[in-house]
């Protein structure tokens, strides 16, 4: 390791090689606190050439590397759980000029999502991906996890935004294709491959992103329902009948009550209700009337609050976005981020608490999610971080319904032992073949995504 540290210092300068245990410690624990690792060194390159030289040095020394952006990932994929070198991309935070004609921008892998969103807005455009970690998570991490978030129903996931990629492969070679041509059938689509590869194939140093038209008019409403099934049906109906729909988020009374308890916010409606939808409509013209009409036609709405202004809209959004921190306030949760087929979604949500209780009677279950995508976030608190019996029960239940064990957070280290629930042996073999081609010595995030051989 000493020889590696010296070599890394020659590449990035000694100031950008961190080895003070207290400083390094802040890079070795994930956001949830569930995944705690250790490392002797964090390296912070400042350019793609430096990233390439760092990878080459690590390869020469046989040292495994964990690429890390904002360290907001939820599946233990960005922290060194087996003593890996932490390769922090945060210095690659440049945001290029917005190409106003093309509606595109090239950004560094370490630029935060929030900075990119602001740069797009300043140029009269918008960026389609958004979620609560916006000011900490990075575009490299978003690509690594193929992040989804709050507006997938309108704009798609991160993969749908990425037109070009620059990355350093496990060989140390740089692949760069940032022209942003909308039609470009010149071989394999590396951007698509790297989206969701969780740092196992390449280190993303830059991305060319498509931008979307801004939506200057936005209206937010909170709808209450007597049960999950009614809320799920209403979300489908809104998706069909409300073209300006830009978000529909499912919450339950238990989660709302927890958010109120942790943040001090008042209950959002006069009465408590079993299920809620946070609905946002947005577009070039005021969608308030359109939203009101659509809500009038819904079945099973028990109570409604419509935000009259942007302050109230932010307050309503806060009930949803604060779920993550409110759950974390109870101690490190087990987070199971799953997708269900639409027809099974309500049944799954209603069954999960009992399934969890059957395995861990004293645990608590918190459910919320991006309902239009079929994406439910199952959070369980009160469990030992290493006790994965509940994870097994919930992921098996989701897969049994024909669902996915990872909707948007990735597989990481947390779920690699269950990948077989969604992927055949032939698919996993193909994944290993791709990994071997792009990272022949297996130094990039070797303990993530692919099951242990
Ligand atoms: P990290 O946590 O640093 O890393 C995540 C993974 O990407 C790791 O496997 C890492 O090795 C890899 N990686 C990081 N940088 C690079 C790079 N430059 N090149 C290659 N691989 C890299 N996620 C959603 O999808 N939707 C949500 O709605 C959402 N909401 C969230 C809300 C909160 C409050 C929090 C804390 C998190 C939320 N997340 C959400 C999870 C998280 O923010 C995303 O997974 C995000 O994409 C991670 O970005 P990051 O920069 O923090 O990556
Ligand atoms: C969210 O939608 O809030 C995120 O994916 C984070 C979480 O699951 O807590
Ligand atoms: Zn989410």
The mean predicted confidence, pLDDT, of the chain is: 98
Token digits for 213? Answer: 């038209």
What pLDDT is recorded for position 1?
Answer: 76
- Indicate the length of the chain as a whole number: 453
Ligand 1, atom 44, lies closest to the CA of: 73
Backbone φ and ψ for 349, nearest 5 degrees, come out as: -60, -40
Q: Hey, which residues does 107 pair with through a beta bridge? A: 95, 207
CB atoms closer than 10 angstroms to residue 22: 7
Residues 6 or more apart whose Cβ sits within 8 Å of residue 425: none
Task: Count CB atoms within 10 A of the CB of residue 17.
Answer: 22
Give which of 60, 65, 69 is closest to 83, Cα–Cα.
Answer: 65
Q: Give 65-82 pLDDT, tens digit per residue.
A: 999 999 999 999 999 999
- The ligand 1 atom at the shortest distance from the C-alpha of residue 140 is 18
> What CA–CA distance (Å, rounded) separates 250 from 83?
39
Whether residue 89 has its Cβ less than 6 Å from ligand 1: yes
pLDDT at 204: 99
Q: Choose among 379, 404, 373, 346: nearest CA to 129.
A: 373
Distance (Å, rounded) from C-alpha 415 to C-alpha 388? 10
β-sheet with 245-252: strand ranges across: 301-306, 217-225, 275-283, 245-252, 364-370, 375-381, 334-339
Side-by-side strand order, sheet with 162-169: 104-108, 202-210, 162-169, 174-177
Helix (H) / strand (E) element for 109: namely: none
Say yes or no: CB of residue 132 within 6 Å of ligand 2. Answer: yes
Rounded distance, CA 379 to CA 365, Å?
6
Q: What is the mean pLDDT of residues 380-404?
A: 98
* Residue 127: pLDDT over 90: yes
What mean pLDDT comes out for the span 155-165?
98
User: Does residue 337's CB lie within 6 angstroms of at least one atom of ligand 2?
Assistant: yes
SS3 call for 390: helix
Asked if residue 414 has its Cβ within 6 Å of ligand 1, the reply is no
The pLDDT value given to residue 2: 85
Q: Which pLDDT does position 324 carry in this prediction?
A: 98
Cα of 62 from ligand 2 centre, angstroms: 35
Q: Is the CB of 79 under 6 A from ligand 1?
A: no
Would you state the pLDDT for residue 308? 83
Q: Where are the beta strands (DSSP E) in 89-161?
A: 104-108
Q: Averaged over 184-199, what is the pLDDT? A: 97
Does the beta carbon of 377 lie inside 6 Å of ligand 2?
A: yes
pLDDT recorded at residue 83: 97
- What distance in Å separates the CA atoms of residue 131 and residue 112, rounded to the nearest whole number? 12
The arithmetic mean of pLDDT across residues 382-403, rounded, is: 98
* Residue closest by Cα to atom 7 of ligand 2: 324
pLDDT computed for residue 117 by the predictor: 98
DSSP helix/strand/coil, 338: strand
Q: Which residue lies with its CA nearest to atom 9 of ligand 2?
A: 324
């Amino acid at each position: 390791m000493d020889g590696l540290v010296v070599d890394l210092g020659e590449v990035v300068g000694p100031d950008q090689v961190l080895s003070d245990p207290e400083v390094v410690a802040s890079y070795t624990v994930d956001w949830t606190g569930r995944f705690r690792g250790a490392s002797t060194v964090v390296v912070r390159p400042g350019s793609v050439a430096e990233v390439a030289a760092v990878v080459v040095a690590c390869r020469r020394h046989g040292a495994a590397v964990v690429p890390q952006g904002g360290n907001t990932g939820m599946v233990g994929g960005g922290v060194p759980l087996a003593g890996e070198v932490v390769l922090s991309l945060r210095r690659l935070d440049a945001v290029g000029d917005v190409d106003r004609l093309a509606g595109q921008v090239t950004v560094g892998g370490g630029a935060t999502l929030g900075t990119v969103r602001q740069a797009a807005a300043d140029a009269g455009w918008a960026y389609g991906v958004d979620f609560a970690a916006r000011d900490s998570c990075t575009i490299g991490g978003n690509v690594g996890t193929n992040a989804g978030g709050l507006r997938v129903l309108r704009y798609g996931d991160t993969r749908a935004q990425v037109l070009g990629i620059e990355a350093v492969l496990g060989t140390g070679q740089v692949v760069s294709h940032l022209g942003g041509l909308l039609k470009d059938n010149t071989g394999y689509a590396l951007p698509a491959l790297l989206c969701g590869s969780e740092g196992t194939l390449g280190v993303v140093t830059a991305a060319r992103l498509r931008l979307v038209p801004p939506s200057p008019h936005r209206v937010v409403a909170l709808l209450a329902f007597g049960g999950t099934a009614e809320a799920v049906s209403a979300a489908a109906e809104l998706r069909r009948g409300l073209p300006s729909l830009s978000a529909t988020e499912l919450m339950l009374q238990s989660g709302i009550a927890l958010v109120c308890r942790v943040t001090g916010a008042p209950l959002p409606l006069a009465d408590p209700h079993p299920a809620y939808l946070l609905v946002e409509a947005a577009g070039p013209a005021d969608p308030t009337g359109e939203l009101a009409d659509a809500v009038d036609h819904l079945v099973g709405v028990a109570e409604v609050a419509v935000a009259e202004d942007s302050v109230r809209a932010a307050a309503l959004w806060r009930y949803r976005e604060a779920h993550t921190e409110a759950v974390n306030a109870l101690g490190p949760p087990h987070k199971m981020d799953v997708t269900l087929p639409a027809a099974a979604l309500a049944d799954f949500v209603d069954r999960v608490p009992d399934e969890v209780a059957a395995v861990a009677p004293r645990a608590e279950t918190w459910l919320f999610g991006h309902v239009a995508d079929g994406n439910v976030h199952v959070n369980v608190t009160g469990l030992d971080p290493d006790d994965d019996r509940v994870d097994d029960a919930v992921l098996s239940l989701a897969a049994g319904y024909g669902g996915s064990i990872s909707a948007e957070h990735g597989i990481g280290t947390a779920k690699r032992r269950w990948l077989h629930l969604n992927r055949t042996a032939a698919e996993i073999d193909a994944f290993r073949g791709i990994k071997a081609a792009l990272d022949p010595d297996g130094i990039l995030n070797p303990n993530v995504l692919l099951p242990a051989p």
